[in-house]
Amino acid sequence: MKILKEASNDSVVKIHGWVKWARATGIVMEYLPSGCLGQFVDEDDRLHPALILRMALEIASGLAHLHSRQLVHGDIKPENILLTEDLHCKIGDFGSASLHGLTGATTATKSKKTNYDCTMVYAAPERMTKLNSKPTKEQDVYSFGMLLYVLMSAKQPLQGVSEAAFIDAIKKGDRPDKSEIEDLKRNTEVPQIVAGLEDAIDACWVQSPNDRPSMVVVQNKMQNLFCNVEDVLLQTLSKDISDKIKQTLDVAKVEETQELVELQHFLPESGQFTKGLFFL
Ligand SMILES: Nc1ncnc2c1ncn2[C@@H]1O[C@H](COP(=O)(O)OP(=O)(O)O)[C@@H](O)[C@H]1O
Ligand SMILES: [Mg+2]
């Protein structure tokens, strides 16, 4: 917990500390009001490639930072990327995080480790064969590649395939179909961005962990792409973002109300919930 608290970065959810009750421990962290990236994977309302690039850059820089501190996240997926009101990304959910090079130092509980179903899509092939092994930096890189694929293709990889078939295919070295990304490349005003993001997907999800780039390398690639086309991006982004923020806040408002009710039920003294802090 101390290590997480010190691993602060603009693209990582800030951990303020923790509280202990008789039978539970709560993490006190920065409150992010706009939900998670998972809610933006929508074929009918695709994110602009420029916005995806900015998100990819932020997630890559957060992951590179964690890796530089020998922290492995272990569960990178859109649902674990939280959003600020202006759609900047921060990495959250350290429930599967572990320290690289140390045995047994993981924050995951037993039930969390075995309850791997919904994260399977983002698990690297070598992880699929050894579910209870410790996550690695290379597996985070793979998951980042799959996350980027999901954002770019705007579809869930399990659409029309059973989970078992998906796992078999990934283990054999197959990857989900990229036709949506190819279409996007032909029909966008920013083909160089789409091509750059596609290259990052291809590099990150390769089969052999040793052939995957480090997150610093990915971050630099994203940074170069972002610098080269910044003017075009910023114009497009500002409109895209302001539209999305409006929708997000409407959705988040409803979810926040539900979460507050759940929290008040969970916490021993409901008065301990302070706006701006989020207890788990
Ligand atoms: N710091 C936070 N601020 C606002 N919402 C949060 C925060 N942390 C988590 N959430 C919400 O709770 C959901 C689940 O949290 P997460 O940490 O991913 O736990 P788990 O996946 O283990 O249930 C997130 O998708 C998000 O909607
Ligand atoms: Mg989660």
Least-confidence region, from 14-18, 60-64, 148-152: 14-18
The mean pLDDT value of the chain amounts to: 81
Residue 13 CB–ligand 1 contact under 6 Å: yes
| Confidence label for 221 from pLDDT (cuts 50, 70 and 90) | very high
C-alpha 88/C-alpha 86 separation (Å) is 6
> Higher confidence at residue 32 or residue 182?
182
The closest ligand to the CA of 35 turns out to be: 1
Residue 93 CB–ligand 1 contact under 6 Å: yes
The residue whose CA has the least distance to atom 11 of ligand 1 is 35
- Residue 231 has a CB neighbour count (10 Å cut-off) of 8
Residue 100 in this model has a pLDDT that exceeds 80: no
Type of residue numbered 150: V
Give mean pLDDT, residues 217-222. Answer: 97
| Confidence label for 68 from pLDDT (cuts 50, 70 and 90) | very high
Measured in Å, residue 42 CA sits from the centre of ligand 2 at: 19
Q: For position 263, what pLDDT does the model report?
A: 52
Atom of ligand 1 nearest to the CA of 112: 22
Tokens representing 19 are 């509280």
Least-confidence region, from 53-62, 175-184, 254-263: 254-263
Tokens representing 90 are 């921060």
Q: For position 195, what pLDDT does the model report?
A: 96
Which residues are annotated as catalytic?
75
Q: For position 102, what pLDDT does the model report?
A: 54
Q: Domains along the chain?
A: 2-279 (1.10.510.10)
Give mean pLDDT, residues 134-149. Answer: 96
**pLDDT, tens digit, 9 for 90 and up, residues 246-265:** 777 776 665 655 555 555 54
**pLDDT, tens digit, 9 for 90 and up, residues 184-209:** 999 998 899 999 999 999 999 999 99
Q: What is the separation of C-alpha 173 from the centre of its chain, rounded to a whole number of angstroms? A: 23
Atom of ligand 1 nearest to the CA of 95: 22
C-alpha 221/C-alpha 57 separation (Å) is 9
Q: For position 243, what pLDDT does the model report?
A: 78
Classify the C-alpha dihedral 253-254-255-258 as positive or negative: positive
16 exposed, middle or buried (CB, 10 Å; 0-12, 13-18, 19+)?
middle
Residue 28 CB–ligand 1 contact under 6 Å: no
C-alpha 99/C-alpha 106 separation (Å) is 7
Tokens representing 70 are 């020998």
Nearby residues of 232 by Cβ (< 8 Å), 6 or more positions away: 50, 189, 190
> Higher confidence at residue 100 or residue 236?
236
